[in-house]
């Protein structure tokens, strides 16, 4: 039996989300139509909006549905940047970095967390700013100090956009002190194709897709009701699970015991409970991923979002890792990970290491 440990690429569909998608498929109306079918679709849409608002501490009218996490980030970054400098963490996801090509990058510490002194200095050094900081990094699971960063932003009159795509549902999190929060359905166990941008009251990003004025004019396009219903059901079902941290820690301690050369970038910082970056010096990540795949274990190298190719990780480079960055795989446990996952992964990893040592000898 195969074992998929690549939840940060996408979580398996939760049964609650599947049921919600199927029910929504039977509603034929367009939520913008005024007749009875349209109104039934509208009710489901607004229920989903209310669910997300309650789950993430916002008002329903401040939830904007998008086609996913990439679009939610792009809407915040492009829609709020007018008249502001954009300051972005160096380890942000391309969904943020590529939406703000002129952004000033803020360095991270060796453990992967944002350098708050650098943020303070950058905020002091210019006009109004939009700061983009992810709640959790997709490659290492490192959690950034959002509350501290938000206090600095407040003190300098800057807006704070938080990419919560990987953190939502895995750690306690709400809009809290941020001005906007990006979410993605499929990272919480919902279907692919729906996400949301959650806004603090009064924050009003300019639309990047104007279209027919849906979503209070903030995002044009007929709302994909089944995907949105699945997103809301997944958001309700996804709750922090201490079992994941136990399994992740079991994997790391077993590997540390059997391979003293192994390293775990970001492990000294607070992290998502489900994520481990594991470096095996001298063995390219792609080789490791393929060997594990042949053994039936699915993990990824660097950012799996970037279309199957293994690119140099800008995240590990920003943390000051040299050549070993290319020898790092990401193990990310899904919500339904089996209890024997740690044993099975460690056995396959040990066999992979033995093979590569034999080849090198
Ligand atoms: N932000 C982070 C931190 C991510 O990890 C990802 C996807 O991996 C995204 C944004 C993009 O989300 P989506 O796949 O829903 O477009």
Q: Where do the structural domains in the chain lie, given as residue ranges?
A: 3-11+241-360, 15-237
Residue 25: is its pLDDT beyond 60?
Answer: yes
Residue 185: is its pLDDT beyond 50?
Answer: yes
pLDDT band, residue 134 (cuts 50/70/90): very high
Tell how far the Cα of 303 is from the centroid of ligand 1, in angstroms.
10
H/E segment holding residue 318: helix 314-318
Average pLDDT over residues 144-164: 98
Q: Which residue bears the tokens 């309650």?
A: 54
Tell me if residue 327 is catalytic: no
Average pLDDT over residues 329-342: 98
- Give the ligand 1 atom nearest the CA of 305: 8
Taking CA atoms only, the protein residue closest to ligand 1 atom 12 is: 69
Tell me how far apart the alpha carbons of residues 143 and 298 are, in angstroms, rounded to a whole number.
24
- Give the ligand 1 atom nearest the CA of 137: 3
Same topology, domains 3-11+241-360 and 15-237? Answer is: no
| 15-237, CATH topology level | 3.40.640
Q: Which of 93, 136, 189, 231 to mutate to test the pocket of ligand 1 (most atoms within 8 A of CB)?
A: 93
pLDDT at position 308 is 46
Is there a contact between 122 and 158 (Cβ–Cβ < 8 Å)? Answer: no
Q: For 227-237, what is each residue's pLDDT tens digit?
A: 999 999 999 99
Tell how far the Cα of 135 is from the centroid of ligand 1, in angstroms.
12
Tell me how far apart the alpha carbons of residues 62 and 70 are, in angstroms, rounded to a whole number.
18
Average pLDDT over residues 95-105: 96
pLDDT at position 303 is 45
Tell how far the Cα of 73 is from the centroid of ligand 1, in angstroms.
9
Taking CA atoms only, the protein residue closest to ligand 1 atom 14 is: 69
Tell me how far apart the alpha carbons of residues 126 and 257 are, in angstroms, rounded to a whole number.
49
Tell how far the Cα of 266 is from the centroid of ligand 1, in angstroms.
19
Strands ordered across the beta sheet of 328-332: 275-279, 328-332, 300-301
Show the ligand 1 pocket: residues with CB < 6 angstroms.
Answer: 68-70, 73, 93, 95, 134, 138, 163, 165-166, 184, 186, 195, 305
Q: Which of 187, 193, 277 to mutate to test the pocket of ligand 1 (most atoms within 8 A of CB)?
A: 187
Average pLDDT over residues 46-73: 98
Tell how far the Cα of 209 is from the centroid of ligand 1, in angstroms.
19
pLDDT band, residue 306 (cuts 50/70/90): very low
**More confident of the two residues 3 and 306:** 3
Tell me how far apart the alpha carbons of residues 293 and 276 are, in angstroms, rounded to a whole number.
17
pLDDT at position 252 is 98
pLDDT at position 311 is 67
CA 130 to chain centre: 20
User: Tokens at residue 263, please?
Assistant: 């390293």
CA 68 to chain centre: 11
Q: Which of 72, 183, 184, 234 to mutate to test the pocket of ligand 1 (most atoms within 8 A of CB)?
A: 184
Tell me how far apart the alpha carbons of residues 198 and 134 are, in angstroms, rounded to a whole number.
14
Q: For 140-153, what is each residue's pLDDT tens digit?
A: 999 999 999 999 99
Residue 47: is its pLDDT beyond 90?
Answer: yes
pLDDT at position 125 is 84
3-11+241-360 CATH: 3.90.1150.10
């Amino acid at each position: 039996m195969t074992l998929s440990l690549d939840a940060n690429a996408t979580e398996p569909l939760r049964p609650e989300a599947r049921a919600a998608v199927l029910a929504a498929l039977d509603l034929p109306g367009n939520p913008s139509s005024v007749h009875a079918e349209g109104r039934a679709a509208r009710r489901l849409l607004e229920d989903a909006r209310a669910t997300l608002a309650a789950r993430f501490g916002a008002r329903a009218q401040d939830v904007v549905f998008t086609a996913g996490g990439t679009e939610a980030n792009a809407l915040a970054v492009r829609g709020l940047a007018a008249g502001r400098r954009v300051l972005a963490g160096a380890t942000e996801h391309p969904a943020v970095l590529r939406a703000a090509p002129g952004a000033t990058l803020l360095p991270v510490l060796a453990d992967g967390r944002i350098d708050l002194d650098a943020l303070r200095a950058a905020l002091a050094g210019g006009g109004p700013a939009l700061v983009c900081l992810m709640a959790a990094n997709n490659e290492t699971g490192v959690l950034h100090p959002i509350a501290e960063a938000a206090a600095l932003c407040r003190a300098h009159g800057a807006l704070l956009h938080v990419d919560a795509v990987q953190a939502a549902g895995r750690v306690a999190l709400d809009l809290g002190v941020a001005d906007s929060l990006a979410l993605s359905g499929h990272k919480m166990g919902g279907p692919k194709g729906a996400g949301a941008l959650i806004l603090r009251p009064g924050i009003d990003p300019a639309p990047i897709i104007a279209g027919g004025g849906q979503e209070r004019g903030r995002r044009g396009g007929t709302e994909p009701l089944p995907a949105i219903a699945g997103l809301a059901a997944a958001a309700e079902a996804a709750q922090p699970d201490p079992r994941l941290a136990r399994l992740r820690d079991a994997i790391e301690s077993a590997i540390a015991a059997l391979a003293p050369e192994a390293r775990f970038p970001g492990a000294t910082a607070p992290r998502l409970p489900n994520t481990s970056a594991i470096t095996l010096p001298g063995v390219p990540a792609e080789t490791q991923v393929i060997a594990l795949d042949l053994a039936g274990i699915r993990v990824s190298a660097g950012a799996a979002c970037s279309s199957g190719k293994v690119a140099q990780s800008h995240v590990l480079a920003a943390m000051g890792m040299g050549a070993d960055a290319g020898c790092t795989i990401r193990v990310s446990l899904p919500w339904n990970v089996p209890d024997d996952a740690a044993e099975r992964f460690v056995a396959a990893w040990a066999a992979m290491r033995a093979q590569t040592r034999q080849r090198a000898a």
